[in-house]
A and B are shown apart, each in its own frame.
Chain A
């Protein structure tokens, strides 16, 4: 069975600090997909990134970067020079079948960035 663990329930940082959100997953499949979503106070989830199991390249998008390590079954998310607008709940998710209907979400990490 697939499982996603986000051990950090809440993180609080001061603006301009770097912060890393951890995500550890479990799956028996060799093909799978990992996601990160952001949930701002308005409620909707905003897609940030999708990574398939065959692509271990790290990715950087502006202040966001993702570190995928199959050896440790982790897909961590780093925000560099955090801003108040980054305050949100962040979810990591895993899909084995390649469909949204089998996606499993972690419990989420609430990030608060203080000015």
Chain B
């Protein structure tokens, strides 16, 4: 089945550690996105990539990093510089241009 796979579903991180969230899509979409969702708030864009080997910062990129070495993959690293990383993270993809985005099922990250 075509879709977006995020892993793991739940992730626990100790303070001061970097963690990487995986996002893979087999929809042949050019564009991929990472969003953060906090309780009672809408989604906020962290990073996006319109093409392989290129990505742009979103509204809340500080403390995060990404790579786009393959069309199918867009991993997100939450670094120790992110002071409040506990949140629900959603990955999405879309065709180039203007179409609806398809979302993964998310990763819930908790700092312990």
Contacts and interface: CB of A to CB of B under 8 A. Distances in A.
Interface of A: 4, 9, 33, 35, 42-47, 50, 91, 93, 98-101, 103-108
Nearest to A105: B42
Contacts, number: 56
Interface residues on B, range: 20 to 34
Contact of B103 (A4, A44, A93, A104): A44
B22 to A, nearest CB: 15
A31 to B, nearest CB: 11
A107 to B, nearest CB: 5
Interface in B66-93: 88, 90, 92
Contact of A101 (B43, B48, B105): B48
Interface of B: 4, 31, 33, 40-45, 48, 50, 56, 58, 88, 90, 92, 94, 98, 100-106
A98 B98 contact: yes
Given A4-B42, A101-B48, A105-B42, A43 B101 contact: no
B106 A100 contact: no
B1 to A, nearest CB: 13
A45 B103 contact: yes
